[in-house]
Amino acid sequence: MRKITVLIVDDSALIRNLLSQILSSSPLIAVVGTASDPYMAREKIKKLNPDVLTLDIEMPKMDGLTFLRNLMRLRPMPVVMVSTLTEQGAHVTLEALAYGAVDFISKPKVDVANRLNEYADEIINKVLMASTVQVRTLDAAMLSSENSPNSGGTSTAKLDPIITGSPKKQMNRSKAQLIALGASTGGTEAIKYVVSKMPASSPAIVITQHLPIAFSQSFANHVNQASEMNACVAQHGQEILPGNIYIAPGDKHLMVITKGSHYVCQLDDGPPVNRHKPSVDILFHSVAQNVGSHAIGVMLTGMGVDGAKGMVEMHDSGAINIIQDESSSVVWGMPGEAYRLGAADYVQPLERIPAQILALKA
* Domain spans of the chain, in order of start: 4-140, 158-361
- The pLDDT of residue 157 is 40
On whether the CB atoms of residues 101 and 141 are closer than 8 A, the answer is no
Q: pLDDT tens, 253-268?
A: 999 999 999 999 999 9
Q: Nearest to residue 135, comparing CAs of 84, 99, 163, 106?
A: 99
Please say if 210 is a catalytic residue. yes
- The pLDDT of residue 166 is 46
- pLDDT for residue 29 is more than 90: yes
* Residue among 56, 103, 306, 345 flagged as catalytic: 306
Q: What angle do CA 234, 287, 94 make, to 5 degrees?
A: 40
On whether the CB atoms of residues 178 and 294 are closer than 8 A, the answer is yes
- The pLDDT of residue 112 is 81
* Residue among 26, 36, 83, 184 flagged as catalytic: 184
Alpha helical stretches, state H, the chain: 13-24, 38-48, 64-74, 87-98, 112-118, 120-130, 138-147, 149-152, 167-172, 187-196, 213-226, 280-290, 308-316, 334-340, 353-361
Burial classification of residue 269, based on how many CB atoms lie within 10 Å of its CB (0-12 exposed, 13-18 middle, 19 or more buried): exposed
- pLDDT for residue 155 is more than 70: no
- The pLDDT of residue 249 is 98
- pTM greater than 0.85: yes
Q: pLDDT tens, 128-147?
A: 999 999 786 544 444 344 44
What's the rounded Cα separation, in Å, for the pair 275 and 67? 32
The torsion defined by the Cα of 276, 278, 280 and 284, in degrees rounded to 10, comes to 140
Q: Do domains 4-140 and 158-361 have the same CATH topology?
A: yes
Q: Which CATH class is domain 4-140?
A: alpha beta
Please say if 91 is a catalytic residue. no
Q: Nearest to residue 225, comparing CAs of 180, 263, 188, 256?
A: 188
> CA dist 63 to 37, 80, 167, 301, Å?
9, 15, 55, 28
* Residue among 56, 210, 227, 317 flagged as catalytic: 210
- The pLDDT of residue 161 is 52
Lowest mean pLDDT, pick from 3-17, 50-64, 266-280:
50-64
Q: Which CATH class is domain 158-361?
A: alpha beta
- pLDDT for residue 127 is more than 70: yes
- pLDDT for residue 206 is more than 80: yes
